[in-house]
Amino acid sequence: MKTTRLLLTYFVVTLLVITSFSGCNDRTYEKVTYTANIPVYLDFDTFRKSVMKSTDIPLTNPGKIYFKDNFLFINEINKGIHIIDNSSPAQPVTVAFIQIPGNMDMAMRNNILLADSYIDLVAIDITDPMNPVEIDRIQNAFPNVLPAPDYSYPVYGLDFSKGVVTGWETKEITEMIEKGSYYGKDIVLSDGLGVPTIGSAEVSINPSVSGISGSMARFTVNDDYLYAVQNNSLKLFNVGSIPGITTGQDVMLDRMVETIFPYDNKLFLGTTTGMVVYDITSPATPTYLSSFNHINSCDPVAIEGNYAYVTLRSGTQCNGFTNQLDVVDISSIANPFLVKSYPMFNPYGLAIENHILFICDGDAGLKVYDATDPQEITQNQIAHFKDIKTYDVIPLDGLLMMIGADGLYQYDYSNLDSLILISQIPVSIP
């Protein structure tokens, strides 16, 4: 039976009494058996030769989306990126699939796709999407990244020198430990975010110059810089010359950051305890401007005009119990304040365009509101599509691109009196 997080179920088999070397204290040891996550490794050489065009695979486990120059990019969680020709949204066509092990996030600069691959940052030339070519790589750009384990159990025997951790096996472990010490020396417990810790070192579990990402993104490109968030840091990469990416100075934050949203030469960071704003007028040196705090919760951000729209949701990794929409006045960026909160079911991504607010409310579906009056948003609901599991959205000139557990949905919202589903790429059930 699974235990609650961080709780190990001990089965005492044998008690041994050992006298310490000092001869002053007796130490009692016991043999314990418990269930743990055991790392599965891929050696570094094989891992760094794995980015390639692959045989088209069906959409089975979609993650984040990105749009640029009539192409949609859909993350297949931990496997790679689908490239969709969306020049005719009513008839999207899958062009290619790029195999990128450990991929979760992406961004574009010109014709270069920037993507995470577990611990590395890779740059892939997709001038010809049918023949993608890796042209640059920053090794260990995202140190100690791990795939999500079963949070019911601790991690046992983690050793980053053995290769890249690509998965977990759940096994029973038996070892001798000092009585009362709670766990053995090779155990890695989880912090409040489900992020394993080793001592004090955290590990982590993605023709315009750049395109448009959803609100759940951890990557964004501005000018010559890629900004990426990991754990409690904002990472900078100069991508003005590729190949030739260089790493900038990390900006350390006092909280765990979840998402990043660019707006008006600023970065709005969604963290587990609030929204943090940085100025990037000088792109290489982001400068702290302000923060808006709340209780622990996951919180993507969308911005329009003088308002920030922040969704808070409960969830295992965020330790929150709140599901709501916060509207924050940012007319004075140094002093943001809450305008109003609205209850939601379990909201994920959101977006706003021309006062029309789109919220992916998890299993409660896609909700569309007229947000002209921030005091009356839920009283001005335009549409509610209930029977879909939603994750993130990108609105653009009357076209809404939405990704969820069931696949890609595209809506024509040019007529707000009648939003129309114009196409769908469903997930394939294995």
> pLDDT digit string (tens) for 51-92?
888 777 899 999 999 999 999 999 999 999 999 999 999 999
Q: Among 40, 45, 29, 116, which Cα is nearest to 79's? A: 116
Q: Does the structure show a pLDDT above 60 at 2? A: no
CA distances 267 to 132, 210, 260, 278, Å, are: 30, 15, 7, 5
Q: Does the structure show a pLDDT above 90 at 11? A: no
For the whole model, what pTM was predicted? 0.85
| Range among 24-33, 119-128, 296-305, 321-330 with highest mean pLDDT value | 119-128
What is the arithmetic mean of pLDDT over 7-33? 48
Q: Does the structure show a pLDDT above 70 at 387? A: yes
Provide the pLDDT for residue 319: 53
Provide the pLDDT for residue 413: 96
- The rounded distance, in Å, linking the Cα atoms of 400 and 387 is 17
Backbone angles phi, psi at 149, to 5 degrees: -90, 180
- The rounded distance, in Å, linking the Cα atoms of 259 and 170 is 30
For the stretch 169-209, pLDDT in tens is: 999 988 777 766 655 555 555 443 344 444 333 444 434 56
Provide the pLDDT for residue 178: 72
**Better pLDDT: 255 or 427:** 427
Domain locations along the chain:
15-41+152-189, 351-430
What is the arithmetic mean of pLDDT over 118-136? 94
